[in-house]
């Protein structure tokens, strides 16, 4: 077994026991990147030189532990001090933030070694990473397929062994859907569990930072490092952070799991449904009580999301105007022309589409019919979950409607592309935590199992996910990338 | 013609608050600092930065709301007002749309002895934008520079009901509002520096008609004077147009200070759609009624109360009391001085007279002034003791104002002690009588005025130091000798 194949937990223990040095681990990652990156295209920017320095410093320490010395990647919409943060957009192609996102800062404080910034759909808008303003990322399981999105670079890099884990963001499924497509673990924490400071905003009421890892234990380890209140984000929760690894092995005897029938209906591939149904049987075997339930407003989640997210985005992305940083059309003759041509040239088509959608939805005369109505439906969706969690500890479903689709397959059809997020979006609207773990395979392509829980139930989700993982071997399968 | 019509005016006032830090970040406030020296990722609108509400801003807003007799909301919210402008870093302004922090209040003005309540519709919190610096005119400048020091400065917008009926009432409303804000110490209220700004909405209607006429909004009112002038102009324009059978257009106009006219800026149709929506970065503000009560208990004496006190305790006229309560700093100076020397009327005269004259002449504020309440009290005591005359006192006071020295020191150093030694004065009186035989004759012939001239001559010869009472008496004695 090569070094890059170990988990965060294992490498961490090896580093702590001084069986390997941080520099050796980094070299293994760098070598792996050298071998596969030309086929995956996960990274927008590599920071191996900086990483070497960090690794050397860590090796010089008397003690090393936790995440210290373990190479990771950061989605390119999380600000990294001194390292360009592009959001995969020409608009920010040369933007170098003078500050770290809080989650990044916490990882650095824990000794994380950042090897680079990861590809994504431009400004996190998309489900395939084909909307990257630079290049698409390829799925390690099948290079002709998408890795999902928007955190496609992050999921692909973790699956391909280029990094041990990645930090990403999830607004409507952007962590879980690519985790599902790439056969890795991705968690979207409770809204407010992780600070959003330094995460370039897409839809502020939905955005949340979370980890992508190869195992559930690794996910818990990264969660331990990134969660907590931040005075720079007043929507971050003032709730103590538990040790998420503590109860992992407790087992799930008696755990009540509901599966919402709306998540197993038409629109979800038969194979995916069957795979997840089989996964539910596994939970029963493990002692959980599994029952069908209903989230009746599920069908409204997608349209609701496509009002709220673009509305917020239209305002959040207004700051990219060429005045202070980023791309500017220098040939414009006056201010208004500078604004419009900078934005017309700097943004890609999907970003422009969503900004226009949002601008329209917020316009005078349409606000009540669209935005306000969407807020009301959002509440109904949240109440569906509240009611379900009165009876069930967690809910289980497929993460996605299908396995990874082919590059180009949906790129020309935004609506079909939007539909591929219908199972992950409700969680963001409700602000609840959710995790996607490998739940099976169809034709050697991973299928994601999504677990959802009430606010701040991350420990329960991780415990259930761990029990399933330990009872299956899906997480042990790796894509074959050797030529 | 103006008798036939009635003006209906409402004012929207923006006031910059002097909190320690900006509304949504930790930057300090600055006026006149090096461009872009008081900025951070937050107020620069950098990617990923998130606003965090300044608690002091909420406290200032509660204070102001209470002083304006408003109801303080238990729940309020911030909204984004979206528009593109290079001085607005995020291209949206954080403001409050339908859930402002305070509403339904009033303030009282007094017009020709009659008290009148002007309703306050709402008080809401928002942030200021930065500034653009042009080379010459905005129309011809080859480039614009952006200074974001002011971006994120906390503002209150205070919106009156359309209860104001004349330009004079409008400026009285502004003066009263300004003095209340100064007493609360929430703002410097300097119109010329833009820390107090005002837009006016005005319409006219035939007297007796209830329905409101078409209104126009006037911007760029940078002084009380331009507020009054612009309203006078605009009311006249409305009336003339109506008399000619014309129709008013609802529009925004700007006051051209140089030409003393209002000019059309944009019509209602051209008005921007700000696409307001709740700011998802800022949780709703829940205001505990106990907090409001705590703030209420710390409210300082307000101008109306202070005015009553000056009139009832010190017997000052309503005019004096008004002037002394225009600014909290002036009132504090006055009160401190009275505490050391219990002659309120005399002190009021000095504060509103010499002190105000010198402050205006030097373009200074009372708080920057070197004369202290104690030093003024000390000087007035020297006057009372007869050490200096009233005339010399003005010289001493000006010296105090310029140097900050104690009056005793100035009197001693410059030898300004009043001469009350009769023999010394007698010698000068004799000299003056001897030197002016013609005037002496006039006096003796019954020309009372001639005495004044002789007194003046004696004072001049004594360099103003002779005790005027003694001079008068000795002159009369000498001149009445046969």
3-state secondary structure of B94: strand
Question: What local confidence, expressed as pLDDT, does residue A483 receive?
Answer: 61
ipTM of the complex, rounded to two decimals: 0.95
Assigned domain for A106 exists: yes
Quote the number of domains for chain A: 1
CA distance A289 to A54: 47
Q: What is the mean pLDDT of residues A420-446?
A: 97
Mark B23-55 as b/e (b = at least 16 C-beta within 10 Å): bbbebebeeeeeeeebbbbbbbbbbbbbbbbbe
Q: Is beta strand B131-134 parallel, antiparallel or unpaired with respect to A434-442?
A: unpaired
pTM of the predicted model as reported, rounded to 2 decimal places? 0.89
Q: Is residue A190 situated within a structural domain?
A: yes
CA dihedral of residues B117, B123, B127, B132 (deg, nearest 10): -30
Nearest CA in chain B to A312: B280
pLDDT at B2: 61
pLDDT (tens digit, 9 = 90+) per residue, A375-406? Answer: 999 999 999 999 999 999 999 999 999 999 99
On whether the CB atoms of residues A66 and A109 are closer than 8 A, the answer is no
| B52–A232 CB contact, under 8 Å | yes
Nearest to A71, CA basis, from A147, A139, A3: A3
The answer to whether the CB atoms of B47 and A359 lie below 8 A apart is no
Domain that holds residue A75: 3-257+391-476
Q: Is residue A448 part of a domain?
A: yes
- Encoding tokens for residue A276? 């997840």
Question: Would you say residue A319 lies in a domain?
Answer: no
Enumerate the domain spans of chain B.
Answer: 2-291, 301-413, 422-480
Which among A472, A428, A384, A477 has a CA at the least distance from the CA of A124?
A428
Nearest to A414, CA basis, from A349, A355, A476: A349
Q: Say what the pLDDT of residue B482 is.
A: 67
pLDDT above 90 as % of chain A: 95
The H helix count followed by the E strand count for chain A is 15, 11
Q: B48 and A205 in contact by Cβ < 8 A?
A: no
B271 shares contact with chain A (CB less than 8 Å): no
Q: What is the pLDDT of residue B110?
A: 84
Structure tokens at B255: 């006051």
Can you give the pLDDT at residue B168?
Answer: 93
Q: What's the average model confidence in pLDDT over A241-250?
A: 97
pLDDT in tens, B405-426: 888 888 788 777 777 778 888 8
Torsion over CA: B326, B331, B334, B338 (sign): positive
Find out if CATH 1.10.10.410 is the number for domain B422-480: yes
> Taking a contact as any Cβ pair under 8 Å apart, which residues of chain B between 89 and 118 contact chain A?
89-92
Q: Is residue A162 part of a domain?
A: yes
Q: Output the average pLDDT for chain A.
A: 97
Preferred mutation among B145, B275, B278, B284 to probe A, highest tally of A CBs within 10 A: B275
In sequence order, the β-bridge partners of residue B93 are: B81
Closest alpha carbon within chain B to A206: B280
B257 phi/psi in degrees, rounded to 5? -65, -40
Task: Note if the bond before A154 is cis, omega within 30 degrees.
Answer: no
Is residue A240 assigned to a domain?
A: yes
For position B46, what pLDDT does the model report?
A: 97
* Mean pLDDT value across residues B365-394: 84
Q: Is residue A176 situated within a structural domain?
A: yes
Q: What is the CATH number of the domain that holds A101?
A: 3.90.1300.10
CB atoms within 10 A of CB A142: 18
**DSSP of B402-445, one letter per residue?**
HH---HHHHHHHTT---B--HHHHHHHHHHHHHH-HHHHHHHHT
pLDDT at A168: 98
Is A302 inside any structural domain? no
Higher local confidence (pLDDT), B445 or A57: A57
Nearest-CA distance from B141 to chain A in Å?
A: 11
Q: Other CB atoms closer than 10 Å to residue B286's CB: what's the count?
A: 10
């Amino acid at each position: 077994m090569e070094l890059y194949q170990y988990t965060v937990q294992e490498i961490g223990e090896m580093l702590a026991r001084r069986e390997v040095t941080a520099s050796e681990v980094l070299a293994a990652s760098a070598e792996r990147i050298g071998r596969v990156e030309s086929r995956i295209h996960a990274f927008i920017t590599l920071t191996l030189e900086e990483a070497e320095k960090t690794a050397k410093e860590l090796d010089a320490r008397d003690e090393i532990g936790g995440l210290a010395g373990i190479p990771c990647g950061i989605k390119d919409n999380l600000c990294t001090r001194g390292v360009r943060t592009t959001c995969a957009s020409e608009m920010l192609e040369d933007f170098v933030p003078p500050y770290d996102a809080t989650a990044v800062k916490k990882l650095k404080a824990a000794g994380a070694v950042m090897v680079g910034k990861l590809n994504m759909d431009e400004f996190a808008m998309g489900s395939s990473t084909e909307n990257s303003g630079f290049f698409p990322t390829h799925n390690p399981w099948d290079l002709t397929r998408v890795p999902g999105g928007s955190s496609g670079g992050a999921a692909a890099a973790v699956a391909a062994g280029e990094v041990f884990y990645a930090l990403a963001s999830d607004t409507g499924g952007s962590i879980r859907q690519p985790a599902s497509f790439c056969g890795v673990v991705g968690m979207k924490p409770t809204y407010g569990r992780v600070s959003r400071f330094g995460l370039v905003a897409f839809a502020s009421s939905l955005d949340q930072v979370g980890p992508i890892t190869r195992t559930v234990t690794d996910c818990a380890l990264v969660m331990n490092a990134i969660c907590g209140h931040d005075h720079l984000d007043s929507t971050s929760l003032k709730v103590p952070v538990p040790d998420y690894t503590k109860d992992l092995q407790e087992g799930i005897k008696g755990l009540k799991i509901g599966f919402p029938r709306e998540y197993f209906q038409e629109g979800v591939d038969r194979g995916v449904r069957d795979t997840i149904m089989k996964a539910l049987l596994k939970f029963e075997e493990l002692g959980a009580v599994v029952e069908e339930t209903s989230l009746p407003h599920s069908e409204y989640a997608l349209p609701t999301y496509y009002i709220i997210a673009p509305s917020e985005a239209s305002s959040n992305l207004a700051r990219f105007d060429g005045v202070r940083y980023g791309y500017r059309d220098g040939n414009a003759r006056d201010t208004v022309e500078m604004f419009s041509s900078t934005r017309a040239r700097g943004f890609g088509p999907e970003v422009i589409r969503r900004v226009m959608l949002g601008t329209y939805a917020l316009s005078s005369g349409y606000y009540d019919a669209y935005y306000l109505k969407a807020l009301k439906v959002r509440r109904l969706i949240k109440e569906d979950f509240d009611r379900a969690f009165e009876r069930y500890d967690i809910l289980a479903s497929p993460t996605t409607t299908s396995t990874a689709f082919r590059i180009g397959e949906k790129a020309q059809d935004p609506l079909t592309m939007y539909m591929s997020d219908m199972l992950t979006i409700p969680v963001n609207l409700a602000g609840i935590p959710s995790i996607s773990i490998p739940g099976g395979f169809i034709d050697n392509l991973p299928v994601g199992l999504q677990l959802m829980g009430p606010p701040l139930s991350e420990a329960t989700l991780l415990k259930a996910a761990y029990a399933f993982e330990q009872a299956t071997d899906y997480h042990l399968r790796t894509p074959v990338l050797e030529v | 013609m103006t008798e036939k019509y009635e003006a209906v005016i409402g004012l929207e006032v923006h006031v910059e608050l002097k909190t320690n830090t900006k509304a949504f970040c930790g930057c300090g406030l600055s006026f006149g600092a090096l461009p872009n020296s008081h900025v951070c990722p937050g107020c620069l609108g950098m990617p990923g930065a998130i606003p965090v509400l300044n608690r002091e801003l909420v406290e200032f807003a509660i204070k102001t709301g209470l002083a304006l007799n408003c109801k303080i909301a238990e729940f309020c919210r911030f909204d984004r007002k979206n528009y593109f402008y290079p001085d607005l870093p995020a291209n949206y302004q954080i403001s409050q749309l339908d859930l402002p922090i305070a509403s339904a209040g009033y303030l009282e003005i007094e017009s020709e002895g009659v008290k009148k309540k002007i309703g306050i519709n709402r008080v809401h919190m928002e942030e200021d934008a930065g500034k653009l610096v042009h080379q010459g005119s905005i129309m011809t400048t080859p480039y614009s520079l952006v200074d974001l020091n002011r971006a994120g400065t906390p503002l209150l917008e205070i919106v009156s009901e359309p209860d104001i009926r004349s330009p004079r009432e409008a400026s009285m409303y502004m003066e009263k509002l300004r003095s209340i804000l100064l007493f609360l110490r929430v703002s410097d209220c300097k119109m010329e520096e833009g820390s107090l700004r005002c837009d006016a909405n005005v319409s006219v209607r035939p007297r007796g008609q209830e329905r409101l006429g078409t209104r126009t909004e006037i911007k760029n009112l940078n002084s009380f004077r331009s507020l009054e002038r612009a309203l006078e102009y605009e009311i006249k324009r409305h009336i003339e147009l109506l008399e000619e059978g014309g129709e008013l257009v609802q529009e925004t106009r700007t006051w051209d200070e140089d030409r003393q006219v209002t000019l059309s800026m944009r019509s209602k149709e051209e008005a921007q759609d700000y696409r307001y929506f709740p700011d998802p970065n800022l949780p709703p503000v829940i205001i505990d009624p106990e907090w409001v009560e705590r703030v209420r208990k710390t409210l300082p004496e307000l101008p109306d109360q202070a005015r009553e006190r000056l009139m009832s305790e010190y017997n000052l006229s309503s005019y004096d009391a008004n002037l002394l309560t225009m600014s909290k700093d002036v009132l504090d100076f006055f009160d401190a001085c009275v505490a050391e020397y219990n002659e309120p009327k005399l002190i009021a005269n000095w504060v509103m007279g010499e002190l105000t004259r010198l402050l205006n002449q030097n373009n200074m504020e009372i708080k920057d002034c070197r004369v202290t309440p104690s030093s003024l009290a000390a000087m007035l005591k020297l006057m009372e003791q007869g050490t200096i005359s009233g005339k010399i006192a003005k010289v001493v006071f000006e010296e105090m104002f310029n140097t900050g020295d104690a009056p005793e020191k100035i009197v001693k150093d410059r030898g300004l002690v009043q001469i009350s030694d009769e023999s010394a004065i007698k010698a000068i009186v004799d000299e003056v009588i001897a030197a002016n035989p013609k005037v002496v004759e006039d006096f003796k012939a019954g020309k009372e005025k001639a005495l004044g001239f002789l007194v003046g001559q004696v004072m001049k010869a004594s360099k103003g130091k002779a005790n005027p009472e003694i001079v008068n008496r000795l002159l009369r004695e000498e001149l009445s000798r046969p």
